[in-house]
Structure 1
């Protein structure tokens, strides 16, 4: 049985702990510096540790003896927590979408005796596994389009959006340069550009460039695909309001103020839906073909507790990665990218099943 330390006892950390604890294959300890988060974790029955994630030496001492460390902490703590896990001799996994943080983890992995595997959530994470799987279905790959969105089931404001995830991470996605492959070459594209409209199951959506969702897939597929893109899914009209706020009003230069606006004006919700919609085109047996993957996930009950769709899909991504390393289906040391995970193997884990559609609760139906 592996002993796992989850650094970050917030909503996603709690869902990860519940999934791992319910499996019977893992012992879980939750670590944080926030006394309220630790009190909540202890109330749920988890052993807790008070830690300062900004102190790598002290954190390494605390992490010694754990088989693996999962960072569910803010993205800017990624390098420190990864370095501490490496020093403690533990495998390391995280959920970051931050490109600089991932590069720091990659550098640490060069001489590591354990696994360092960042970007294990939804996007980056599961969507990279799906993208690599689709790419492998073609003799010659032409285009690969990855689209992911976490959306409220019942949008009521002009943005048609509620907070379901880290506000800092959300603003990074909207403001930072985006990776893509265009005409076979890796490039940086502007966020909020390449706007598209599409429909699924009778509902209208839009999507546009955002940062971080591709993970390392651009590097892996360079030279193998003519065009690769990642876009975030929202309800129509969201992108135009964002451009007003970020560009016209200049809030892209005041991310602190943007965070305050979002957290003051946009309520949080656990009544959400996560959509993963990926499409690839290319040649197979000399014929131009197209293949798509669609997954829509709702909230679920796990261990007697209801979790939102974004909690479930994010936690399932990292728990599945941990399980594949533990079972020897992934390398046992060094840097491991999401596209090294085989989609059928991931879906066969007890955590991959959480990507099956959830259920709308009676409360959801009445809302």
Structure 2
């Protein structure tokens, strides 16, 4: 099978991780583009081809995608429509990591008459959690509830928020402020962010969970009328939600996203000593018995290609590179819009990149019981 050429847009922390993973494989040639020379310089030292261009220049973007089998966007969500449009013009398959609903809708519109595949929301959440959730749902004769819970957390919390920055600040703010998708009584609805607070426990540690935007992906559509309740909530250490509500509501920072971003990036240190927890639970009828099943995955930072990468970098990059690999193998539709629930979990975990999630599995894949 011929090697694929991949163009990654974005030389930030996730873009660097994606490039590093693909570089370890014999199946890919990699090019990274960005306007930021500093980020590109870090990648260039690894032997990956880099090109500095203005990502908002449509012609330059399309030319940069020329000859590529696939484009992976690791750029900010507001650049998604422009990047996806250029990928379509260049005849390349398109993948991204966005959690932004409007950006996903723009990609879906581009996919309607496309001759290549368009697959947004391919990271951790949305992304892997949707694949795991769909697999869990398929294990029931009749699904009642599906609860998806995901958190990227510091291993050693030290501040009142019990939180460190581990990924995009813009994406984090989006999650805390935008309406959230859910299924209630079998119908797709929008629910308020930061609400529906609950407590879960794992390995003797208590966590809180609350609504955040974007993590459910397209599951609310595909399970509409097939389940009574489906929800996505973010995992944090207890007390985090109340402080965020104070900042957003009482201090009015919900109306000052620019100031909120500055506060977060000034006051919250970044860390590579993190943990990513995926906690999915479903209930329903199985062989005539009302049954509950869970899937839990816990990942920490690790060494890859001689460098330490954070858990959020590894899980996000593994999410998108695994589905790209499935496309290369011909295991996904070759054109049109693709949702995460169209990916088989076993196929995902069997790829060289999905195996990184397999290493973090806490519960075995037991579908026979």
Aligned position for 1:362: none
Structure-2-length-normalised TM-score = 0.96
Q: Which runs of 5+ in 2 are unaligned?
A: 361-369
In the TM superposition, residue 353 of structure 1 has moved relative to its aligned partner by 1.1
Aligned position for 1:213: 215
* Aligned length in residues: 358
* Mapped contact 2:34–2:51 kept (Cα < 8 A): yes
Aligned position for 2:147: 145
Q: Which runs of 4+ in 1 moved over 3 A?
A: none
Helix, strand or coil at the partner of 1:23: coil
Matched, 1:344 2:362: no
Q: How far, CA to CA, are the matches of 2:288 and 2:21 in structure 1?
A: 44
Instruction: Summarize the alignment of residues 1-367 of structure 1 with structure 2, pairs less than 5 Å apart.
Output: 1-357=3-359
Helix, strand or coil at the partner of 2:209: strand
* Mapped contact 1:297–1:356 kept (Cα < 8 A): no
> Residue by residue, what CA displacement relative to the aligned partner does 1:182-237 show, whole Å, maximum 9, x if unpaired?
11111100000000012110111100000000011100100000000000000000
> Residue by residue, what CA displacement relative to the aligned partner does 1:144-198 show, whole Å, maximum 9, x if unpaired?
0000000000000000000001000000000000000111111100000000012
Of stretches 2-11 and 40-49 in structure 1, the one that deviates more from structure 2 is 40-49
> Residue by residue, what CA displacement relative to the aligned partner does 1:62-110 show, whole Å, maximum 9, x if unpaired?
2111111100000100000000001001111000000000000000001
Q: Which runs of 5+ in 1 are unaligned?
A: 359-367
In the TM superposition, residue 357 of structure 1 has moved relative to its aligned partner by 4.3
In the TM superposition, residue 319 of structure 1 has moved relative to its aligned partner by 0.3
Structure-1-length-normalised TM-score = 0.96
Helix, strand or coil at the partner of 1:204: strand
Q: How far, CA to CA, are the matches of 1:44 and 1:159 in structure 2?
A: 36
Q: How far, CA to CA, are the matches of 1:40 and 1:223 in structure 2?
A: 48
> Residue by residue, what CA displacement relative to the aligned partner does 1:14-67 show, whole Å, maximum 9, x if unpaired?
111111110111011110001111111112221111121112232112211111
Helix, strand or coil at the partner of 1:16: helix
Q: How far, CA to CA, are the matches of 1:300 and 1:333 in structure 2?
A: 35
Q: How far, CA to CA, are the matches of 1:132 and 1:305 in structure 2?
A: 33
* Mapped contact 1:71–1:78 kept (Cα < 8 A): yes
